[in-house]
Amino acid sequence: MKGFSAHRHGVVVGMLLMLAACSRGAPPDNSGPTAGWGSWGGEPGGQRYSPATQITPENVRGLKVAWVYRIGQATAAFENPPSPQARRKLAEGYTPEGLKLPALEATPILEGGRLYLCSNTNRVVALDPQTGRELWAYDPKIDRAGLVLMNCRGVSYWKDSQATAGAACAQRIFVGTQDARLIALDAADGKPCAGFGHDGSVDLKAGMGEVVPGEYGPNDPPAIVADRVILGGRVNEDMRADMPGGVVRAFDARSGALLWAWNPLPPPVAGATTSAPGAPPAAANAPAAPGAGEPAVYPRSTVNTWSIFSIDVERKLIFIPTGNAQLGIYGGTRGLMADGRDDGRDYYASSVVALDALTGKVVWHFQTVHHDVWDYDVPAQPVLFDFPTAHGKVPAVAQATKQGYIFILNRETGEPLVPVAEQPAPQGGMVPGERLSPTQPAPTNPAYVLVRPPLTEKSMWGFTPWDRGKCRELFRSHRYEGIFSPPSLAGTITYPNNLGVMNWGSVAVDPQRGLLVVNTSHVAGITRLVPRGEANQLFAQGERLMAQIGTPYALQWAPLLSPWGAPCNAPPWGTLVAIDLHAGRKLWEVPLGTTRDLAPFPFWFKLGTPNIGGPLVTASGLTFIGAATDNYLRAFDTRTGEELWKGRLPAGPQATPMTYRLSPDSRQFVVIAAGGHAYMRTTLGDYLVAFSL
């Protein structure tokens, strides 16, 4: 018996050793390709696809934290006091004092064997991609006065083909700052490039007219093509009718000289007004001559371009998602006017626009919302890919939208490759001074329609009959006629709300499998236009409203929540979706996120949560995504939607991950910013976290 016990003990020990070896996983396979991540979306077209195969569905459970870097960011009230100009606007209710919120939404890029990224205060750093060690840092010391939601989503890289090897600024990092500067840094040491603009910086406020501190500046990485640095800028929306214009400009990557400027207004039409109130006339689409001195003031309150551009390098085309002309929710001061006039400012609003990158001239544009009064502007980077058709592959662009539609367009002409039809839109009960579009465009294939069915009183949701009843009371007391319910004085339920079904995270395309992967959010909101007299009283009481100065109404917005803070519409409130591009059908949809970091234990439910960020897909068949309101990076099987792994993070992952493998004998890393998002109420931080096998 003693011999048997010893033998049994040896077997058990052997089994434990084998289990331990299995838990560690097999050594990583180094036979696959190396892979970089040279642009914010992986490559200039934004597919968020990597050919890396070392991390697979079979071994992804072996991912562990490889390194952590802390970039530093603002998480409290800003030190800089408002300028006298900003204080005047604050007194008018222009932007609420104290609403100074951070978000770390950056995705690093990998070039020249280094990682580059920015913090929410535009601090730019270079890191060793193997260890996360900081190699250099540059702080532009931005003016924080007037800024509300602070973020910097990324930087861009450019190599000067005319520079000699080792010359200063032969390789450059470009960043647009929130206080409206374009800065060029030497990629080698982070020092400003003296020959670019004035000591390495171009003032983006030039030609813009009055710019109140904090109301204008880019958050996103510039697009770079043919030695041109191209960018627009975001404005603080729904604050006043007279805002800086949404001009898109191209600057010489070597000198910073202005090469062209596109004003988003249609060509002048006899008898039509082509500039915003208070601005001088300007020829739309007219490039400004380089070296001509200070350009004319760009038209005011034209559509801003706050999201990420894409580039077709071969065709020298740049694809621009546009926002709203100001103001966005009340349209009586722009676009389709109640008196029948059209001032042209809606023409390129809520659209994807293709420009000739060499000249700035419009090649085509496609509008996703007509006379947008819901803030359904185009939030996402257009994604360039080859769309499979019965006649072969066609160069295409996929445009994700807030209203939950994905438009698939011919990249060269803008014509829909998935049919689009104009659908009737609600018309009654408009506020005085408004006029609505009678129809709105929508894809006819339901696979590309990711918005949920219309809400009903019966469909209101709650954890208990009590809070469900409160949600039903809210529903009954507000106007609702479906996705395009017009804003009203009594209050209108907007579903989706203005954060959208999809936002700036965009979509990822797996060209190998012919799949499009996208994360979605589903939360309703309440929008109310508040007459100016009532609004002034609410401002005096400390109520936070969007001022909409220059119109008869301020704007009140809130999510449609139960007394317990949960959305009144039924979960899942966030999902991950895959669309089969060959078959034109939804392949799978799974909940994304849990209540782990929003609710106390034991109320941790896998309901799917609202999310901001985007996915990446790899050739090995994995989809990585953070985005949700719990602090995890997740890996899904791209073929089935099965969740295979999740890695705990120190803060909210409201960003898009990236991946790379530097050499044949190195590991593949997956990297994500974990900094949280104040609007999403996720854990705040300043972390960049890398995982590897």
CB 265 within 8 A of CB 344: yes
Residues with a known catalytic role: 375
pLDDT surpassing 80 at residue 260? yes
Mean pLDDT is lowest, of 216-220, 274-278, 329-333, 370-374, for 274-278
Q: Per the structure block, which two tokens stand in for 239?
A: 């604050």
Mean pLDDT is lowest, of 20-34, 372-386, 667-681, for 20-34
- 3-class DSSP assignment, residue 472: helix
**Domain segments of the chain as ranges:** 37-692
Residue pLDDT, tens place only, 569-628:
999 999 999 999 999 999 999 999 998 887 777 778 888 999 999 999 999 999 999 999
Q: What is the pLDDT of residue 101?
A: 65
Tell me which of 89 and 406 has the higher pLDDT: 406
DSSP 8-state class, residue 142: -
Which contiguous run of DSSP H or E holds residue 671?
A: strand 668-674
DSSP codes joined into one string, 8-64: HHHHHHHHHHHHHHHHH-PPPP--S--B-B-STTSSTT---EE---SS-TTTGGG-E
pLDDT mean over 263-269: 81
Q: What is the pLDDT of residue 128?
A: 98
pLDDT mean over 522-537: 94
pLDDT surpassing 70 at residue 360? yes
Block residue for tokens 């040491």: 189
pLDDT surpassing 70 at residue 427? yes
pTM (two decimals): 0.90
What are the E-state strand segments in 432-552? 439-443, 492-494, 507-510, 515-521, 525-531
Residue pLDDT, tens place only, 234-245:
998 888 888 999
Q: What is the pLDDT of residue 288?
A: 42
CB 282 within 8 A of CB 298: yes
Residue pLDDT, tens place only, 140-171:
999 988 888 889 999 999 999 999 988 999 99
Averaged pLDDT score across all residues of the chain: 88
Share of the chain above pLDDT 70, in %: 87
pLDDT surpassing 80 at residue 284? no
Tell me which of 497 and 15 has the higher pLDDT: 497
Q: What is the pLDDT of residue 7?
A: 43
Q: What is the pLDDT of residue 466?
A: 96
How far apart CA 545 and CA 547 sit, in angstroms, is 6
Q: How confident is the model at residue 52 (pLDDT cuts 50, 70, 90)?
A: very high
pLDDT surpassing 90 at residue 10? no
Q: What is the pLDDT of residue 571?
A: 96
Q: Which residue, 144, 217, 140, is CA-closest to 173?
A: 140
Q: What is the pLDDT of residue 20?
A: 37
Q: What is the pLDDT of residue 81?
A: 38
pLDDT surpassing 90 at residue 282? no
Q: How is domain 37-692 classified at the CATH fold level?
A: Methanol Dehydrogenase; Chain A (2.140.10)
Mean pLDDT is lowest, of 73-82, 223-232, 236-245, 309-318, for 73-82
Residue pLDDT, tens place only, 192-234:
999 999 999 999 999 999 898 889 999 999 999 999 999 999 9
Radius of gyration in angstroms for the set of CA atoms belonging to the chain, rounded to a whole number: 25
Q: Per the structure block, which two tokens stand in for 604?
A: 């941790």
Mean pLDDT is lowest, of 97-111, 195-209, 463-477, 553-567, for 97-111
Burial group, residue 532, by CB count within 10 angstroms (0-12, 13-18, 19+)? middle
Sign of CA dihedral 31, 37, 41, 44: negative
